[in-house]
Structure 1
Amino acid sequence: MSLILVSIFLVLLILGAPIAVCLGLSSAVVIVTHGLPVSVVAQRSLNALDSSPLLAVPLFIFAASLLNATGVTTHLFELVRMVFGRIRGAVAQVSILVSLIFSGISGAALADIGALGAIQIKQMKAQGYREEFAAGLTVAAATIGPIFPPSIPIIIYASVANVSAVKLLIAGIIPALMLTALLMIQVAIIARIKDLPRDDVRPSRRDVAQKALISFPALLAPVLLIGGLVSGYFGPTEVAGVTVAYATLIGIFVYRTLTVRGIIGALRETAESTANILFVVSTAALFAWVLTLDQVPMKVSGMLLALSDNPLVLLLLVNILLLVVGMVLESIAAILIIAPIIAPALTAAGVDPLQLGIVFVLNLMIGLLTPPVGMSLYMITIITRMPIGRVIAGVMPFFIPLLLSLLVVSAVPALSTWLPELLMK
């Protein structure tokens, strides 16, 4: 059964069918040919969407769209540029920091690229940076978003792997900060070697204070979100709703740039993105159910545990598997298919579920930068109109901090587990 399922899936994938169609059609064919009721297709697909944590997905997308419509991203970029503009390679460093700040609002790599990419690349090109470097740094920095809360991939992983979404979101904070620091160190090294320029901005203290005042409501959004999670007053869904309300209020009453047309545009963007994600969620759940029916998770668990009972060795094996999977599967689909198979085996071997969740998501975010299914690569080519080969050349140096972060998170469980244990007692 599983062999037929995977074969049909791969054929459809090679033919270029959308990932949701590959998952759903292959599952439906196997269900029908093995004499199972056709109603199972609808039942399993709909049951996968009957999940409270998944309500946070469209809400976070909507909040990011609203804040982007208010022009918040421009204010954030200008503020951080004023503060850090005098160091060598300043605009590149600013791009990384703004990606970290905006990741506390958007929760998705592609949202970060869509909101910040054009601004970041334009500023770097104006300072004389090579376009390949600017594009590569932008897509590399966007991987911070899905690790730092709120994170749509983490919320989806938590719902699939039966892990506390709140704890897993908090578990991503330290790894995201470490990844930010490593990317900044990489840029500092390149800046010294390539003699990258210092920024030409020379603001007065008054200018910085005024821009900080303007940006304060936007900077408060991640604080509100993380504070709500840590305090226990809100779960991911409630925090997402509060973030939407906050984004609407500051857009209308503080920045006064959020119009009815802007809200309608944000709703349209949210509906489109949510439909794409949830279509994959429902069909991947059906695909995973067929695999479970054939006892694939149990077989894989037995195989992994037969190879080694050392948690670190198993994590390294899973890292290799996920890096390969990330090259050919969209990240949400990969989480929904692979997590139910891998998570029970590694948890049984002693890997902490929080550490595994962060390792899982970080692997797949690196996959966004690898062809042939590197969605971040394709999105930045649309923004810059550069050939994808040049974009890949620009991103190659930044695989060093990305892979180093992955190795450290895999080797040191405390990076993922310490903060949730401290704050959630």
Structure 2
Amino acid sequence: MSKRELAYTIQSNLWFTPVIYVFFSFLLVAVALTADFKYELGSHMRSIFAVDYDLTQALVSTLTAATLTLTTFTFNLILVVFTTFSGQFSPRMLKNFIASKATQRVLGIFTASFFYMLLSFLFLNKRMAQYYFAVPVLAALMAALAVGTFIFFINHAVAWLQVNQATYDMKKEALSIVKGTLENEVDPYRVKDVSTIDGQIPHGKECVIEAEKSGYIQLVDFITMIEETQKDDIVIRLEYTIGDYVFASTPIATYWKKGENEIDERTYHSLFSIGRRQTEVQDIEFSINKLVEVAIRSLGNYDPKTATNALYQLGEVLASISRGAIFSNYLMDESNNLRVILQDRDFNHYLYNGFGYIRHYAKDNVIVSTEILNVLDLMAKSLSTRDYKAVWEFGVFTARGFDDLFLFKLDYQQFYRALYDLAVTTKHEKEYEEFLEKGKR
């Protein structure tokens, strides 16, 4: 498991952070019991601060049950609410909430508080100490911390339950993947000018690397792959990309050897991580699909405002891809030798995966389709000029077939004003006039 996979697994699992907090609660119990049993801290305190055994036992036993009840009640209530919420918008929202640092730290504090109370209650002994100080004081402080954390958690959950906040978090996650996968990991090795590798694109006898098991391609270690292909002096072509589902024995890569040297295919198998589900570690399209799913579910629930918000968040992600990515499917090594051939992905591909499904489900909704054109226009203002044509053509496809759906004159005006703004931004005014002429015929 790579460092990125390990970090993702730790973040997406609910048990890791609470285990750390419980470990610190054990240390705290050890410190408190040592202070009261070995050093008899309670006997050396003034009477106003010393707590006798009966009161300490009553306090700790009460707080043990109260802390467990508070923890159980809080997370049971939240999971019920989020199950309903995720059913309305996206089932992946629940996972994002559970994986958030705030949620994990809250559960860690609750769990640590309970274990502190439980262990303190277990080791209380009247024969070893008549008066206590550290155990009851720390128990009271832990209980106060748990109550404060409860208030914070309710505020955190209420804020997170707002759909705008959820879509904003999804957008941030997608932008981080764009930066990590495209801009930092792959783009430095992309061939910017294909003419520089003329004659290096291989032909002839091919060797195939087959998948060892079925599942989704979750991660590909591109940097190590370039280093290995340089050592073996081969060119490798990936037959599938991250997020694709493959069967066992499916050819996932093809390579060409320049000599008779033997290639250890197990090395290249280890560079592919295949699992039962898609993950967000490198899969940009999977993160985009979360926002798409929210928009589509919102349309189905007659909530156009939420759908519009998801559209704008999605537009920002796509604009970031256009500005930062180099759309070339050739990767080279430090010596400018072709080493890896990727699946062809351009801005059209991401644009369709982002807005294509939404356009399909909003085809009878003039208002939402107008918002799609507005988002495309806003995107075009910050896109690379290379992608103007793709955005304009998508806008035209969105506009087709709406002549019979305008209920009011204002619908017509708003829709074609948005299309005209898009034409101006992408410098397709002439094509806009031609589109209107065709519509009149």
- The TM-score, its normalising length taken from structure 2, stands at 0.24
Query: Which one has a larger percent helix, Structure 1 or Structure 2?
Result: 1
- Greater length-normalized contact order (CA 8 Å, ≥ 6 residues apart): 1
When Rg is computed on C-alpha atoms for both structures, the one with the higher figure is 2
Query: Which one has a larger percent strand, Structure 1 or Structure 2?
Result: 2
- The TM-score, its normalising length taken from structure 1, stands at 0.25
